[in-house]
């Protein structure tokens, strides 16, 4: 997906996150996480400000004042307005950034600007789903966006060395509306690549791309797990997302 499309997703999913958070209430639990909506909004609002700061200042390091403030926010009466302000600031910053932007990044990407647009699109999208789950109903993601999120997870976060201790095994992702992936666990890194044939995997996870995207993020999803559940559970137990 191109930068413009990704920033448009940041804009729309951030607005939907705020609306769902308001509907759910700040005390509502977020399914599949240890958060309530208050903690969710505080986290994402901080991440938005940190990302905007990196891009706006062209920082070559992640350790910024905004980064150190992630996890803190204002009192309840001001929290959603604070979130909306930071979200709009991120959208405006990404739209104003030059194509040749140079700054800190932490996953493979076509360019630093593409990295930040993509990372914040998926950060905001997954947490939009969290807020909507707390409110009672999650809007599915478009196929192309969900497929991009699957690729970001498998080619980025999952390949970090910190995820090397998964139980050995293979997982086939078999969406009904997009490319299939073969995931191999148990080596020095998680390995994954698109494939046209899924044969003899230990477990297959099927459904819409939107559901597989959520499943990879260890969120409630209508994905169908068929096969060795221990291998599927190993994904959730060992592949963790860290925001820098």
Q: Are residues 130 and 167 located together in one domain of the fold? A: no
* pLDDT at residue 165, as a whole number: 64
* pLDDT at residue 188, as a whole number: 80
Tokens of 24: 């759910």
Residue that terminates a domain, selected from 135, 151, 181: 135
Q: Are residues 184 and 112 located together in one domain of the fold? A: no
Write down the pTM of the prediction.
0.95
The region that residue 25 occupies, defined by phi over 0 for left and psi between -120 and 50 for alpha, beta otherwise, is left
- Whether 234 is covered by a domain: the verdict is yes
**For 174-201, what is the mean pLDDT?**
92
* pLDDT at residue 77, as a whole number: 98
Count of the separate structural domains present in the chain: 2
- Whether 105 is covered by a domain: the verdict is yes
- Whether 33 is covered by a domain: the verdict is yes
CA gap 29, 6 in Å, rounded: 28
* pLDDT at residue 242, as a whole number: 67
- Whether 11 is covered by a domain: the verdict is yes
Three-class DSSP labels, 100-115:
CCCCCCCCCCCCHHHH
- Whether 104 is covered by a domain: the verdict is yes
Residue that terminates a domain, selected from 135, 170, 197: 135
**Residue numbers of the domain that contains 167:** 143-238
- Whether 7 is covered by a domain: the verdict is yes
CA gap 177, 196 in Å, rounded: 13
- Looking up residue 85, the CATH number of its domain turns out to be 1.20.120
- Whether 243 is covered by a domain: the verdict is no
Q: What is the mean pLDDT of the chain?
A: 94
């Amino acid at each position: 997906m191109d930068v413009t499309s990704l920033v448009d997703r940041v804009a729309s999913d951030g607005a939907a996150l705020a609306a769902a958070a308001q509907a759910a209430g700040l005390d509502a639990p977020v399914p599949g996480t240890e958060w309530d909506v208050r903690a969710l909004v505080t986290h994402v609002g901080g991440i938005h400000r940190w990302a905007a700061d990196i891009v706006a200042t062209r920082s070559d390091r992640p350790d910024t004042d905004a980064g150190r403030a992630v996890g803190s926010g204002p009192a309840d009466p001001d929290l959603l307005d604070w979130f909306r302000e930071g979200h709009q600031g991120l959208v405006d910053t990404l739209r104003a950034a030059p194509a040749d932007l140079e700054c800190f990044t932490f996953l493979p990407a076509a360019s630093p600007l593409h990295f930040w647009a993509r990372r914040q699109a998926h950060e905001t999208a997954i947490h939009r789903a969290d807020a909507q789950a707390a409110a009672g109903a999650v809007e599915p993601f478009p196929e192309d966006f969900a497929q991009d999120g699957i690729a970001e997870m498998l080619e980025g976060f999952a390949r970090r060395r910190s995820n090397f201790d998964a139980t050995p095994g293979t997982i086939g992702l078999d969406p009904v509306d997009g490319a299939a992936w073969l995931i191999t666990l148990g080596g020095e890194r998680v390995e994954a690549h698109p494939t046209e044939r899924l044969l003899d995997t230990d477990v297959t996870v099927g459904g819409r791309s939107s559901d597989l995207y959520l499943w990879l993020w260890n969120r409630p999803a209508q994905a169908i797990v068929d096969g060795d559940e221990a291998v599927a559970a190993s994904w959730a137990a060992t592949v963790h997302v860290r925001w820098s």
